[in-house]
Structure 1
């Protein structure tokens, strides 16, 4: 029989942090009990009751995250952590006194109370918005509606507004007011016929969360709010430094974990000088001519890769010539307006076409190529439309305009006049002369916007390449360049319709 072992102070600190997050004892036990070192399940209970390691301080959230990032067991899968809105966890936060339910311990740095809930108008939600930002920047926690501030008594919500409010609407408010956007979970709990609304706010891994606009009297543009014990206020320098230090610690932990995976053969390395990709199971070489085009995808983001075409290696890899395969690249950039238009004008296939379509629901500009990406999804038009309608859009009007275009209710066509009309006539005849300056670019873009469906495909491809040169000349930061880009974007949309809409 193997001897039971004790936990170190550092491990006790981690256990306390897990308990604070509401993890079950058996889940916590899993992370510390090993064949070579058996830990009694009772140890976790003793720590929870303060009978073991009572003098040890609870680990910081960043220390728990570092522990979890570095934790590895190739032979076992940890059981799922409990939901933060599990009814047992929520009910344990309240105690019953003299016939009423009250929040045990009152407001802390993880709990804030509001008597009422209103998400619209925006001013009515400003205090809650401030609280959400503050919790996300600290340890995360609970925003409780229907609990009276001061007495902390669960008096219940006055009406059904919270129960009937779509979490998507709340997320849209968050997306339009805070960056990065905090993640919330909505729940309801009942005490003696009185219902309390719960928004659980997760600690944001990429904080600080910053207000991006003024909302009522409580949220100011550029403000960074932090949840202190009993209050949410603008962050102090010390806490801001802590958030930044936490990001650095996570980056180091992630790097160490990756290097560990390389060492044991679970990941490979690439030599950018030779093009050799080597791992324990073998190696292959990428042609040096392609190396300058290779960039990298952030850890964990491959399924979300959004900037340009991606190279996904599955199974055996054999050397091929560039002429035998369509050129692809792995890249790290997020989708940008320029990327959406430029990839279409270059006729470059992308790894995640739906990301380019989704982006258009989050952009203020209305005109971007879309059929090019719809064609790559292999989905039906109705399928893409339903997907878009289910998105939480930063700019709902942009999403609705996009849906109308895909449904055939709107188009980028616009009648040309003057010089643009004269040039349009030439383009229809196949007389394509590339513009040579920015003034000609504007006329050319206007003429393209008015093209009919009778233009020959080969002429459309020539116009496509010409528009790319126009876009290259419109990269200035001034208002005039922005206006030219808008005209070129709409011209690209018209080309997109002529080339791809009829195929979908």
Structure 2
């Protein structure tokens, strides 16, 4: 009786549900091999004791089981087998992919290079959401008689080489466009005798990713567009929570270590100190006059009130870590008052920058060095990017004056402090403005106005084909103001 009971229980566990039958029918229709279908079904069942065998798939295929069960939809099957994996994304039938575009999937007919603005928007949108795949070599069907389908077209050898080429170029382009790292993977695969390529975009750790134009793109269902206010608020709240949690945990751990009865919280703005044993208030007029001293040291300073701190007291220097090229421009445009050590760190970053035209003189001045001292410092930097360092030394040694020109109509407008935003009517005006800037002497323009206008110009057009001339103009102003 017991053995019979166990057999009955085991058979009951292995009964196949109508939902599983409907999914299996769709997977059979997708021409997925029996063994692969079996793997998907048993994976969803979990415990090996609940697994079914290959015979069940064969019985469904022959109509012996679930003959009256309706076949699942494509979307239901995709969801069941986890369509987000690249293997499932590439499932195809009769030359067409069976998957559809979604918030984690975008199809593109070709790969036109990482500079494609629409591609950059999609990368940014996916990084700001959950990540996803961008697949190249897929053409949307234009047959009006059928629903939207995606044909496997493939990409040519040049596109394959461009996609799989120098990782550094792609990483640098993403870095310059977003001001921070966007993680990705890339690969080419052959399906249906055609080669397709894809980028897998990782979800960003620090959201939102913002491009140099100040726009925030987000990946919605099968489309990328500027982020809605509600999504931005949600992401900012999530980020705030991510930042605050470690701080709160640190305070809580400190309180637990000291004991709740021995701990209190000081509000340095109001002077209020509150704890389990009660609270008291430090007079507001007293707060800025309080001196903190190390226990055991004697201090007398015009009768200033003194708080005694137990333990070691150390002074700390606030430093900027992991300086990036975007930080260099921000410091320059805002004329941040950095100390000599930080200025030297900035010069080290500049030396390894691929960009030849980048502000340097401001940082040389802040580092309290002259040109010769700077060149010696650059030569001593240990780096594999010797060619970049050489370029920057050449720029420093170039003392040739820029020829003045009074034929440029923008010279007078700049002298009158007109906004670049209103001066640029067409793309060709960008080059004319940069040439006008480099035709001016320092006495001809207001430094505050010029830096503000260059900041706008740099952010607006840093991803355009005019970026080199814009950077030359910035470097020229840097040289004019700070050399």
Task: Bin the TM-score by the shorter chain.
Answer: 0.3 to 0.5
TM-score by length of 2: 0.46
Which structure has the larger Rg over C-alpha atoms? 2
Whose helix proportion is higher, 1 or 2?
Answer: 2
TM-score by length of 1: 0.44
